[in-house]
Structure 1
Amino acid sequence: MSFVMLPFLSSPPASAAESEAPRPLPGELESAELADFDKFDPKRAALVDLALKLGRTHRLNRYLFGSADPEKGGFDCSGSIYFILSQAGIQPARSSAAQYDWIREAGLLTEVPASAGSLEAPVFKKLQPGDLVFWAGTYRPTDGRTNKVTHVQMYLGVEKASGKPVMIGSSDGRSYSGKARCGFGVYDFKVPSRQSKARIIGFGPPPGLEKLQKPAQP
C-alpha cells in the first residue's frame, strides 16, 4: 500500500482465490546495508541494529490489528514499535496516538508542517535513524483519541543498495522496493503526496534512548 491507501484496510479481493493468496512479506536488512551506519550515534545505532535483528527474527509475523505480541502471529503498527522498544529496555506507550503524546510531552517531538510535501523539506533534515515517525489520516479512528495520529514506524536511514530511505514496523500494504508488502519488517520511507489524505505530522526519538547501552537479544 502506498501512502495514499489505508494501512489497516485493504480493497475487497477480486475473487476468493485472491483473498486466500498470502501477501508478500516485507523486506529485511542487515545494519551494514544502511549507508554510514558506522557513523550513527552509538545509542541510535544500537536501537536500529536491534530493530533490524527483530525484523529478521520475526519476519513471518503478519499485520495483526491490536497485537504487540509476536506469539500471536503478528503486530499492528504501534504494536511492532512497542515490541522493539520493550526489547531495548525502553517502556513505551502502546498506541500510535499515545506514543506521539509520549514523545511530545518529553519535549522530543519535531512537528512536520503540512507544507512539507517531500523529503527535501527543511524539517526532514532533523530526521535521524531511530526516530519514530507519525502519520495522520491513514484511516478514520473511532476510539476517541485526542490527536490525529493513526500510524507509526521507525526511521532507519538510507539503504546503501538503492540509495532510498527506509523504515521498519508492521503494516498492511505499504511497499518495499516499490512492491506492496504485509507484516513486520522493512518498508520504503516516503512522504505522502499533497493529494493524499495521509500526511506525516511529526517525528522524534523515544524517551529513554539516551540511557540505552546494549540492546537485549531477540
Structure 2
Amino acid sequence: MIAALPTSVRLVLLLFLCAAMTSCGSTRKLRQQADAIVARVELPAQKVELRDLQRECHRLAQHRLPYVFGGESLGEGGMDCSGTIHHVLTRVGFRYVPRQSNHQYHWLAKAGTLKKASRLDERTLRKMRPGDLMFWKGTYRTGKRWPNVSHVMIYMGRDPNTGKHWMFGGRGQSASGRNGGGVDFFSFSPREGGRRNSKFIGFGRVPGVKR
C-alpha cells in the first residue's frame, strides 16, 4: 500500500518514522540515566524527623540567598529550586540526592511516594503534608529532559490564622517571599494560580523523612 503512494508522501512518512524512532531511543536513554541517578541515593541511617527538615529550611532562609540558576551551595552565592532541595536533604543526612527536579520527581516515583495531580487546588492540598515535595512543569524551557519536570519546592503547611499555604525553596526574584525572595518561604493559595504556562503535576513524601 505504501509503495503505491506518491514519492513525496512516502518521503514524508519515512522522515516521520525516523524521527519517531530517534525520539523513542532518546527517551529510553534519558530514562536509563534517571534510573541510574536515583539508584545511587543513600538514605540516612535513621529516618529524618520533620522538625529537623523544617529547621534546616529556616536556617537556610536566614542567609537570604538570591536565586542562582545552577547553584546548590552557600559558596556559590545562591541556589536554584532543585539545588535548594539537594542542599537541604544533604544537610539532614541524605547522600547522592538527585540534583535536577526531574530526577527528584523520578526518585519519589520509584520509591512509590509520588502522588500525581492535575492541578493545585483545595482537594489536592488536603492530601499534602508538611515536608512533601511539590513539582511543576513548564516553568521554563528545559530542552530534552525526562521526566518533563522543571520546578520543585517543599510544602511547609497551612497557616490556620490566614488560610495561606506555605512552601520553601528557590524561586526567581520576581516572586516575593517572606524575606524578599530567592531561597525563601513563599505563601500561596489555590485561587492565585501559578506562572503562565506552568502546570502543577504532583507531590510526594521524601523517602526517609517521617511525616
Q: Please give the TM-score of this superposition, normalised by the length of structure 1.
A: 0.66
Q: Which residue of 2 aligns with 1:27?
A: none
State the alpha-carbon separation in 2 of the partners of residues 43 and 156 from structure 1: 14
- Is the 8 Å Cα contact of residues 130 and 156 (structure 2) preserved in structure 1? yes
Larger radius of gyration: 2
Q: Which residue of 1 aligns with 2:50?
A: 44
Residue-pair matches, total: 161
Q: Name the one with the larger helix percent.
A: 2
State the alpha-carbon separation in 2 of the partners of residues 166 and 65 from structure 1: 22
Q: Which residue of 2 aligns with 1:32?
A: none
Q: Which residue of 2 aligns with 1:63?
A: 67
Q: Which residue of 2 aligns with 1:208?
A: 208
Stretches of structure 2 lacking an aligned partner (at least 5 in a row): 1-47
- Is the 8 Å Cα contact of residues 90 and 209 (structure 1) preserved in structure 2? no
User: Does the C-alpha gap of structure 1 residues 158 and 193 become closer, same or farther in structure 2, counting only changes over 3 Å?
Assistant: closer
User: Does the C-alpha gap of structure 1 residues 207 and 69 become closer, same or farther in structure 2, counting only changes over 3 Å?
Assistant: same
- Which residue type is aligned with residue 73 of structure 1? G
Q: Name the one with the larger strand percent.
A: 1
- Is the 8 Å Cα contact of residues 103 and 206 (structure 1) preserved in structure 2? yes
Stretches of structure 1 lacking an aligned partner (at least 5 in a row): 1-41, 213-218
Name the structure, 1 or 2, with higher relative contact order (CA <8 Å, separation 6+).
Answer: 1
State the alpha-carbon separation in 1 of the partners of residues 208 and 200 from structure 2: 23
Q: Which residue of 1 aligns with 2:186?
A: 187
User: Does the C-alpha gap of structure 1 residues 159 and 64 become closer, same or farther in structure 2, counting only changes over 3 Å?
Assistant: same
- Indicate yes or no: 2:102 matched with 1:103: no
- Is the 8 Å Cα contact of residues 117 and 200 (structure 2) preserved in structure 1? yes
Overall identity of the aligned pairs, in %: 34
Could you say what secondary structure the match of 1:157 adopts? strand
User: Does the C-alpha gap of structure 1 residues 117 and 152 become closer, same or farther in structure 2, counting only changes over 3 Å?
Assistant: closer
- Cα deviations across residues 113-172 of structure 1 (Å, max 9, x unaligned)? 2xx352x22x32220101110011111112x21222110010111235533111111110
Q: Please give the TM-score of this superposition, normalised by the length of structure 2.
A: 0.68
* Displacement of 1:69: 1.0
